[in-house]
Structures are given as structure tokens and as C-alpha cells.
Chain A
Amino acid sequence: MALNFKVGLIGLLDMLKFANLAKDREKVIASAPANEITADYPVNKFAKAMHPDYQPFVIEDIIDHAAAGAKSFILKRSDGKPASYFRAGQYISLKLPIGDSFVTRPYSISSSPTWALDGLVAVTVKANPGGFAADWMLDNFKVGDEVKGSEGLGSFFYEKYRDARHVIALAGGSGITPFLSMAYAIRDGIEDFDLTILFGSRTEDAILFRKELDEICAETDKVKVVHVLSDEKKKGFENGFITADLIKKYAGNDPYSVFICGPEAMYRFVGKEVDKLGLEKKNVRQEFLGATKTVWLEPGYPQDKKDKVFKLTVRQGPNETVCDCSANEPILVAIERAGIKAPSRCRSGECGWCRSRVTSGDVFIPGATDGRRWADKQCGEIHPCASFALSDITIVVPGEYY
């Protein structure tokens, strides 16, 4: 299909120019100096500081909130660098070597982002019945201990083009932490929005960070805190649970967004109350809840699998490990128990960091925490942190960098 027509271009020399493209290129290369090649790019350096493989910390201080059954751990970068800057409301994934296992736990950062510039990050850990890692940290962590953590993660932060200017935060117990960080950020001029925190605690004594919250409220009128006591009736406090009416009482007349963070029981109650408000989806945001602890209660769960123990074969790079896997726990837990350093962050099925490939066997994935990509759902990719074994399974897990 040779076409031979005249475009009437520049002349005969053009063909020579074409033929010489390679020769001309070689000339340019030959005349360049043979300098040492470097690959330190400022943009990449910035990205690495924001998103390191992990942050090495030492425990700088421990604050005991005895009445609330919690402790705050102040972590300081042990390499003298600033902590990765984060958005108030984000969480950090702690990487904990417990016994022969490598487990991770996500904790909302409670400190101001400004602290990060001095290398500091604070998290608050609450005792939780049967809570393996939380109890281990509360019992074992001492000042001076080393601990590794991720950078700030997640999308639980204020975004002015998405959220209403007035945010009503519904916090339960240690669920106050992301909102404390947001309150600090507002006080410190990093964020600019109006934050009303409806903070549920059992009793006045058990209120976490009361002093800190009072101080912030005294310093900025953009932050307001309403304490809601479930187990105590006291003057100056709201009593009972956080209801739709209570939210309306403090919402005022302007549009508002609702942010929720607290324990599972609170989500169940508050979720229904928030539904009554008839807000658009975009105006209701909640922090991840974790995978279900009672998978057998999930709709569609095959009841004959409950309490079974299956064989789990885990491949990671060139290595293969075989271990037991309880049907009642996320597959990730079995992987961690087997001493495999596998990636995980949110542990709620959402962030996808633990994304792994099942090459044989069946799994159960509760719909509420199925945060997988469309294509992954079609081809056997799962998030082990929120997937449960229904048979013997072979799984290929990614590596981890800490």
C-alpha cells in the first residue's frame, strides 16, 4: 500500500536528516561529559520522608489514664528526624513483635500535627477484654522501648471541599483521639473548621483528655466539647447515649457533617441515630471499625464452618509456611501467629495494604468490610485482615519492609 504523493516539503536533504537521526544522537551523547550518575530527586526525597517504609520510634513518655483504663504513649523518632507529617484524624499502624509473632495495630494519632515537626507522635491504647496486642502494650511498654510505626494513614480527616464547615464529632471512649488531634490542629491554625465534639464516656472520672480538651476550648471558639455520660447523671453534662435529638440540639441551623469514631457498640447505636437525621452519605464519615469478631453472625455465613480449624499454606517470596487457621478469626491473624511478617494497616478490610492472592480454597468476606477493588473481586485477591477461611487455603502474601 505504498502511497507516493508530493507533500512539497523542504527538499532532498530531508531524507538525509532522517537517516542521520541516530548518528546525530550519538554525536550529542559523545560530546557529553562522563559524569557520575546520581539519582537523588527532591520530589522523591520529599515522598520518602512523608511515606517511609516505617518510622523508628522510642517511647519518650507514658501517660496513665487509670480511670479510663488507658495509657497514652508519646513516641519520638529515634533517628532524630521529624515524624512524617500527617493530617489530623489519621491513624498510625504500630508494628509489634509479640512473642514469635509480628502483629500490627492501627491507632488514631492524638497529638497535633505540629508535634510531628519535633519528631513526636502520641497514641492512646485502651485495655480491651481479650485484646491481645492492646493488653501486651499496656503491660510491657516502658519509656525507652523501641517501636516501629507507619506514617499517618487513612482518609478520616477534614477536607474543606468535601465536608461541611461545621463538623459534629461523635466520639466514644478512646475514639476521642482523632478528634483531639483535629482540635489541636484547629487551635494551631493548621485546620480551619468548626468542630463540635459530642463525647461519650461512662462517668465523669473516666473522661479522657478532659484537661486538654478544656484548654483547647478556652483557646479557640471553633472547638466545642459536650460530654455525654452513659452511667452517671450530673449537672453540666448530657446524660445517656448520643442520639439524633442530641446531635440536632448542637448542630445549629447550618449544614453539618458527622464524623464518628468509637468502639463497635457505639457504632451500632449511633449509626441508627445518625440514619434518622437523613443526611447525605457525603456528610457522614466514620473511622474504620476493624473486622468483625463474630463472623458467624454475618448474613450468609455457612454455620457448619464455625469453630473449625483449617490448614493454611502461606507463600511469601521464595518461602512457604504451613500453619493452622481458625475459621473464627481473620486469616491475617493466623498468618501473624505463624511468625510471618505480612503487610497490614487498617485491619478493617478497607485500605488494601494486606491484599493477597488465594490460589486454592474458599473464604468468607463480610460485605460490610469488603473494600476490595472490582477486578480483585473477580480473580481471587482478598484482604486477609477481613477475610475468613472456609476450607484449607493456600495464599500468596506480599513482602513487608519493616
Chain B
Amino acid sequence: MAAKYDVVVVGAGNAGLSAAVKCAVEGYKVLLIDQHNLPGGCASSFRRGRFEFDPSVHEICDFGPEDNKGHVRLLMERNGVNVNWITVPDCYRCISTYSDGTPMDVTMPCGRENFIAAMEKYVPGSRPSMEKFFDLLLEIRAAKVYMNDGTPNDAKYMQKHFPNTLRACGYNTLKVLQALKIPQKAIDILGVYWPYLGVPLDTINFFHFGNMIDMYVIRQAVIPHHTSHEISMTFLNRFYELGGEAWFNCRAEEFLFDGDKVCGVRTSLGDVECEQCLANINPDIIDAKMIPKDRVPERDKKLSAARNKKFSTKFCMIYMALNKPIEEIGINDYCIFFAETADSRKEYEYMKSIDNDYNILISYNTLIPDFSPAGTSVISFTKLFSESEDWAKLTPQEYYKMKDKMIGKCIADVKKNLGIDLTPYIEEVEVATPMTFARYLGTPDGTPYGFELSDWDGIIARMMDIQADFTIKGLRHIGAGSFMADGYSSTWINGDLCAQLVCADLREGGNK
């Protein structure tokens, strides 16, 4: 006889962990399974020698200070998940080239006033338009609170109270920033974070971009003290505390049906029955591999065809442990972007090639002196790819050479941009390619992200359309492939929200 649960959560990544905790908080009997031997998906860690590395985190947004709590903080407080956070003081340093071809090297601080003042310093005359921009963000934030409060949205109320939000959020970011008359150089500086959304400013809906700036600049970002694995283990321990059960190295093979409703999961450790299932799996993979062909909903096929396997950014991460303190090496900034150009459309096109020169340097010890043993430091590099074709073309022999090439590029980037030679200090080095992410996450093309946020398929459009995307009774897909797209914050919130929907269904007798 198969084990029986109210809810089975497949995939213990960020969304799965937050969903499992939420369902357990609500008192349901929950089983969480994951194909890997530890929780977190990307939000994890790994060891090499005397060092522990974070595979993915740069900065976590939407946490916020005590007096301006963000959604992530609210979610964690509500569910009793207590992590030791470190606040990131600056947004970023960016060494690049402005759209007009002149060199850029800017360091942008957090907080509205500081940010605007720094912008005025770099781009004299930008202040009035930047003030307008941040005013607009305030209104968007209020609109978001109204839209997310769980009650139906009243169009008239929104038109009265959030008119600028409604005006701006039908458009792409570039259009809105230009309409606000922000000088191009300031747009270049403001746009540095664009790759976190996966698509350039001329595509990304202004709501997402504005929201992101609000979360990073105003609410400030945080990072965990002891890698993302600390966060995931905090979620997991809370889940255990609430009576939850978790099976690791356990693969979900297919979803089991009772009539037209999912009633269980066939796993590598046996069948389990459930009332509701939350799957932290890309919906294309669910439909292609985990349910019988004749049960794949017509709309899923159309949605998948419309998205046409256009998955968001692919990563190559280069992790280095250095046998000198970071201040002796001479790196002072937590986060430095090296971009070929600040023109996001051009950079996006460059990123199709495996040879692109985009890179993000994270230096953990600048914020957390004891991130690594005394006298050492840990840094990571993130290289981004809008396509994975070049990677897929590699032979196994070329693959290891490519890993080396990526390390070499990072060393060259630091040499070129900061004048520092890292070579004598490298004690450990490891490279995670799109293949590595595919191996551990099983996501399409190894993207840690979901579907690209194309103009017709942005987060707002998906959220307005939310019920339409859940096409199979008893099964909700969560995580980066779901409506709130990718990133730590989005996936935690998405998992929590979907868990709330599931709990509501269970309370109503569960025949959804």
C-alpha cells in the first residue's frame, strides 16, 4: 500500500521548500522529495578542500529592513524561517562602456537619496527624472500591495489610485525610462541589473524592472552568512519541526491519476498517494515526460509552442578560493559587473555566444570576513548566455578545455578591469557550466531560470492569467518555470502563494 499524504511537493528547490513549509504550517501532512541528495536546487553549497562555495547567490532582494519589510522577510517571519542575514551596502560597481561608447566605471549605493545623488554625480542633470522614477516606484509598490492582498482587484480603484502604474506597466522598460526623460547615460547605469531579468530593457515589462530596482535599491539586498545552503537547511529544518517528511535522491518518475485528477506520484523509492501535488518542475518537462501523452492538455501544448523552448539565461559559474585575504588582493567591492556595453540589447545579442565577455564578480569576504578560513578569500564569477547552442556543440574533450578557458577569461577580466593578477593565489577553482546546472537541477538546457519573460509573457500577464495556466487538476507547477519566474525571492514567494492555493483547495474538500 502506498504511503498517503495531503500534499506531495516534488523538487526541494526554493519554491519547493517554501511551499512545503507553508503547507506544513497549515497543518497538512506533507512529503517533500528531491532528485538530488540535498535541498535547495541552486540555493546550496559545495566543498572543495578547506573551502565552502555558494553555487549561485549574488544578492537576495525583497527582504528589506525592519521598518520596510519586503515580501521575502514577511514570508520567512510568517512561516518561522530564521536565517542570519548580512545586508549588502552597495548595489553594484559596473565597469563597462556607455551606449555612446565612452568608458563607464560607476559604484551605485543603496537607498533612494544616495542612489540619486551618485547618479547626479555621474550624469549631471539626471536628478529630476530620477526623482520621478523613484516616485513612480513608490506607486507601483502600493499597487503591488493592493494587487497581492488576495481580494479581487477593482479596476476603478486602481485607475483612481494607481494611474501611473497602469500607464507605465503596459510597456517595456526602455520606453518608460525614455518617457520619464531619463538621460541615456543614466539609463545605462540604472539598467545594470537587467540580466537578472534575463531580457533587455526594450523587452522587459516596466513593472518587473521597477519592482526589481525597488527591491534592490530601496529595500537593499541581503546575503546569508554561510552560503545558500544555510537558507535551504533553515527551511528544511522548519519543515521537519512541523512534522514534514523529506526523501532525497528520490526521483519523481510520473504523476498518477484518478480520473482527470492527479492522485499521486511514482517515485524511485515507491508510489505515494496525495490529495494535491506541487511540482517544482518546468511545465514542459511535466507534460513531455511525467504524464501520459493523452492527458497533456491542449492549452499546455499551445502555451509550450508559443514559448517555443525559449528559456531564460544560462549560467557558467567560476568559483575560486584564494590563499590571501581579499583586502590584500585589492578587491573592495562585493559585486562588480564587467560588461562589454551598457546597451542591454547589444549585450543580450553578445550573450548568445560562448565567447562573450560579460562577467559578474562576487567577493564574499568583502562583506563576510569569515566566509572562508583566516587568511583566505572566496570569489565567484558569473558568465551569462542567452543561448546554449555553443555549449551543446562541445565534445566531451572540448568541454574540459572550455572550463579552463572560462577560468582564463575570469583571470583576464580581473587583470584588465582591476589591474590585479589572481594567478598566484588560486588554491581551489571549480567551474559550473550549463551542463552542471542541467545535471543537478534537471532544468531545460540547465537554466536556473524559467521561460524567458518575453513581451507577451511577462509576470503581470501570467499573474492576471494565473488560473488558466494550471491545467491539470490536483497539480500545480511552481518555481522558476511558474508565473513569478526566476530568482530566489520570486521562487520562494511563488512556492508560498501556490501552497496557499493548494491549502484553500484542501480546505474546500480538495476536488480541484
Chain A residues with a Cβ under 8 A of chain B: 1-10, 14-22, 24-26, 28-44, 46-51, 82, 85, 87, 113, 116-117, 155, 159-162, 190, 280-282, 316-319, 343, 350, 352-353, 355, 371-376, 378-379, 381, 398-401
Contacts and interface: CB of A to CB of B under 8 A. Distances in A.
A98 to B, nearest CB: 22
A351 to B, nearest CB: 9
Given A46-B394, A375-B229, A281 B427 contact: yes
Contact of B305 (A2, A4, A34, A161): A34
A32 B142 contact: no
B118 interface: no
Contact of B270 (A19, A317, A352, A376): A317
B400 interface: yes
B247 A317 contact: yes
Interface string B50-62: 1010000000000
Contact of B428 (A17, A41, A160, A162): A162
Contacts of A353: 37
A247 to B, nearest CB: 20
Q: Which 7 A-B pairs have the closest CB atoms?
A: A317-B269, A17-B170, A85-B396, A398-B249, A42-B392, A22-B464, A39-B288
A399 B314 CA distance: 29
Contacts of B248: 355, 398-399
A190 B300 CA distance: 46
A34 B269 contact: no
A37 B287 contact: yes
B167 A18 contact: yes
A354 B428 CA distance: 23
B497 to A, nearest CB: 17
Given A29-B299, A376-B233, A3 B142 contact: yes
A343 B306 contact: no
Interface in B301-341: 301-306, 309, 314, 323
Contacts of B504: none
* Chain B contact residues: helix, strand, loop or mixed: helix
A7 B164 contact: yes
B461 A21 contact: yes
Nearest to A46: B435
Interface string B279-293: 000101101110001
A315 to B, nearest CB: 9
Interface in B119-163: 132, 135-136, 138-139, 142, 155, 159-163
A256 to B, nearest CB: 14
Contacts of B282: 39
Nearest to B157: A2
A281 B323 contact: yes
B179 interface: yes
B429 A24 contact: no
Contacts, number: 263
Given A34-B305, A282-B427, 9 more contacts: A1-B138, A4-B163, A21-B461, A28-B457, A43-B438, A44-B446, A343-B249, A378-B233, A401-B249
A41 B427 contact: no
A373 B323 contact: no
A161 B444 contact: no
Interface of B: 3, 37-38, 45-50, 52, 132, 135-136, 138-139, 142, 155, 159-164, 166-171, 175-176, 179-180, 226-227, 229-230, 232-234, 237, 247-251, 267-270, 272, 282, 284-285, 287-289, 293, 296, 298-306, 309, 314, 323, 388-389, 391-392, 394, 396-397, 399-400, 404, 407-408, 411, 423, 425-430, 434-436, 438-439, 442, 444-446, 456-458, 460-462, 464-465, 468
B229 A161 contact: no
Nearest to A161: B407
Given A22-B464, A350-B47, A42 B388 contact: yes
Contacts of A400: 249
B429 A162 contact: yes
B302 A15 contact: no
Contacts of A155: 48, 428, 430
Contacts of A5: 135, 139, 164
Given A35-B305, A38-B288, A282-B323, A43 B411 contact: no
Contacts of A87: 400
B305 A316 contact: no
Given A14-B171, A41-B445, A373 B229 contact: yes
8 contacts: A5-B164, A29-B302, A35-B305, A43-B392, A51-B439, A85-B399, A318-B3, A353-B37
Contact of A162 (B287, B298, B392, B426): B426
A31 B305 CA distance: 10
Nearest to A157: B400
Given A21-B460, A399-B269, A2 B306 contact: no
Given A3-B138, A39-B285, A399-B268, A355 B38 contact: yes
A9 B456 contact: no
Contacts of B155: 19
Given A21-B461, A35-B301, A4 B435 contact: no
Contact of A10 (B50, B136, B171, B300): B171
A133 B389 CA distance: 44
A10 B37 contact: no
Contacts of B164: 3, 5-7, 9
A39 B50 CA distance: 39
Nearest to B155: A19
Given A37-B296, A44-B438, A15 B305 contact: no
Contacts of A85: 396-397, 399-400
Contacts of A282: 323, 425-428
A28 B306 CA distance: 7
Contacts of A162: 426-429
A115 to B, nearest CB: 13
Nearest to B164: A7
B444 A3 contact: no
